[in-house]
A = this chain, B = another copy of it.
Amino acid sequence: MTSQADLVALDQSDPLAPKREEFSIPEGLIYLDGNSLGALPKAVAQHLERVVEEQWGRDLITSWNKHGWIDLSARVGGKIARLIGADPDEVIAADSTSINLFKVLLAALKLRPERRVIVSDIDNFPTDLYIAQGVNQLLGQSHELRLVKKEQVEAALDEHTAVLMLTEVDYRSGWRYDMAALTRLAQAKGALVIWDLAHSAGAFPVRLNACNADFAVGCGYKYLNGGPGAPAFLFVARRHQGAALPFLTGWMGHRAPFDFDPYYAPAEGVHRMKVGTPPVLSLSALDKALDVFADVDMNEVRRKSLRLTDLFIERMEPLCRRYGFELITPLEHERRGSQVAYAHPEGYAIMQALIASGVIGDFRAPNILRFGFTPLYVRYRDVAEAVERLEQVMSQELWKAERFRERAKVT
């Protein structure tokens, strides 16, 4: 068992400890929900003020050139590329994860016109599945959407598979796929692979090109700390950039947007995946937020993430025995993202009571308490303190209060 002295020592010797100072974390709050909305990097507030006052307010339309708004999608994409094992010219930041998935899924299906099956995980984040359903409806239900449990994914792949579409880390359990192995297996069957990195980018080193990934998408507002609803990102492996077409063909993806040609011609490379004018304020926040990672070794992030999640699991063991929490996150490091989740029939009310006690995690239907560990700002002592507060919530039956049972719009 890790002692109090061990915790202090762990925090003191943590090479990432100084990073916490770069974030604005409310006093006394233990924030274990960076996998839903990353905390505010302090530099973002100041940067955004300048973008509003100086770029928009003072330089107005000239900022498209003067402050490089026109290249912002690509510049932000380049910063993300380093974190996900891609080259800068393979990534753009734009739109939402859902819309980016729509673009790359359509592009991928058109690269495998003779194949009619999309394989995915039935427990994939719903928007990914909805997008696949919408795409299939659009194509006249020409495809089969084969949704299976994680352990059946390999068996579901065959010579009819056009696309394997997976989120690397399960948003509920924190279960992590073996990206290299699954990519290899799917490609051996002739399929293309799309990875959703919503719970991967910024959480641990991702190696898209080392795994030979075809396409990827991901989220700007979780571990990348880009702010609420931050623009998402999109990756197209260089080998597909000539043939992959977006179908969502907007002027920002045109070869020469300011020629105002009435006929569409795709821009070079990944740039054709841009559609409309990007939300510059939100994109600028993400741009600045990514600078927090500039001097960060992602291997160090992973080491600390595993120590934090190991520690949480260890501390939670007595509560599991005493109160019936059931760990649903893999113990095996290779199969784990940067979160830990427990099932409990009273999960909703327990999480509400825990939040009221100053520990923010979240609830995922039907019965899951989810705790995200962001190594850049979560301390070892936060982990111990979070479990202590949960112990109080349980031992004092705080969660039984009426006010914790009423469902809010967003849970």
Binds B, one of A9-17, A157-165, A276-284, A394-402: A276-284
- Interface presence of A334 (CB below 8 A): no
**Least Cβ distance of A408 to chain B in Å?**
5
Q: Of B44, B70, B129, which contacts A264 at CB under 8 A? A: B129
User: In the complex, which residues of chain B have a beta carbon less than 8 angstroms from the beta carbon of A134?
Assistant: 246-249, 264
CA distance A179 to B379 in the complex (A): 60
Q: Is the CB of A278 within 8 A of B52?
A: no
Chain A 369-411 per-residue mask, 1 if CB under 8 angstroms from chain B, else 0 = 0000000000000000000000000000000000000001111
Binds B, one of A185-193, A227-235, A297-305: A227-235
Q: Is the CB of A127 within 8 A of B360?
A: no
- Interface presence of A311 (CB below 8 A): no
- Interface presence of A65 (CB below 8 A): yes
**Least Cβ distance of A46 to chain B in Å?**
10
User: In the complex, which residues of chain B have a beta carbon less than 8 angstroms from the beta carbon of A285?
Assistant: 52, 281
Q: How many copies of this chain does the complex contain?
A: 2
CA distance A352 to B155 in the complex (A): 63
User: In the complex, which residues of chain B have a beta carbon less than 8 angstroms from the beta carbon of A63?
Assistant: 228
Q: Is the CB of B126 within 8 A of A410?
A: no
CA distance A146 to B411 in the complex (A): 48
User: In the complex, which residues of chain B have a beta carbon less than 8 angstroms from the beta carbon of A365?
Assistant: 258-260
User: In the complex, which residues of chain B have a beta carbon less than 8 angstroms from the beta carbon of A360?
Assistant: 60-62
**Known contacts A26-B58, A40-B57; A229/B278 CB under 8 A:** yes
Q: How many residues of A contact B (CB 8 A)?
A: 94
- Interface presence of A236 (CB below 8 A): no
CA distance A365 to B130 in the complex (A): 40
**Least Cβ distance of A378 to chain B in Å?**
13
Q: Is the CB of B248 within 8 A of A98?
A: yes
Most chain B beta-carbon neighbours within 10 Å: one of A29, A263, A364: A263
Q: Of B37, B257, B276, which contacts A61 at CB under 8 A? A: B37
User: In the complex, which residues of chain B have a beta carbon less than 8 angstroms from the beta carbon of A408?
Assistant: 65
Interface residues of A in 45-63 (CB under 8 A from B): 45, 48-49, 52-53, 55-58, 60-63
Q: Is the CB of A221 within 8 A of B355?
A: no
- Interface presence of A250 (CB below 8 A): yes
Q: Look across to chain B and name the residue whose beta carbon is closest to the beta carbon of A172.
A: B260
Q: Is the CB of A48 within 8 A of B58?
A: no
- Interface presence of A106 (CB below 8 A): yes
User: In the complex, which residues of chain B have a beta carbon less than 8 angstroms from the beta carbon of A355?
Assistant: 62
Q: Is the CB of A264 within 8 A of B62?
A: no
User: In the complex, which residues of chain B have a beta carbon less than 8 angstroms from the beta carbon of A69?
Assistant: 228-229
Chain A 118-157 per-residue mask, 1 if CB under 8 angstroms from chain B, else 0 = 0000111111011101110111000000010000000000
Q: Is the CB of A221 within 8 A of B99?
A: no
Q: Is the CB of B57 within 8 A of A45?
A: yes
Q: Is the CB of A231 within 8 A of B279?
A: yes
Q: Is the CB of B37 within 8 A of A229?
A: no
User: In the complex, which residues of chain B have a beta carbon less than 8 angstroms from the beta carbon of A261?
Assistant: 126
Interface residues of A in 256-299 (CB under 8 A from B): 257-264, 275-283, 285
Which A residues lie at the B interface, using CB under 8 A?
Answer: 24, 26, 29, 31, 33, 36-37, 39-40, 44-45, 48-49, 52-53, 55-58, 60-65, 69-71, 95-99, 102, 106, 122-127, 129-131, 133-135, 137-139, 147, 221, 227-232, 245-252, 254, 257-264, 275-283, 285, 355, 360, 362, 364-365, 408-411
- 25 A–B contact pairs at CB < 8 A? A26-B58, A31-B60, A33-B60, A40-B52, A60-B360, A61-B362, A64-B409, A96-B250, A96-B276, A99-B99, A106-B138, A126-B262, A126-B264, A129-B263, A129-B264, A131-B248, A133-B264, A134-B248, A135-B247, A138-B138, A221-B277, A229-B278, A279-B279, A279-B283, A280-B282
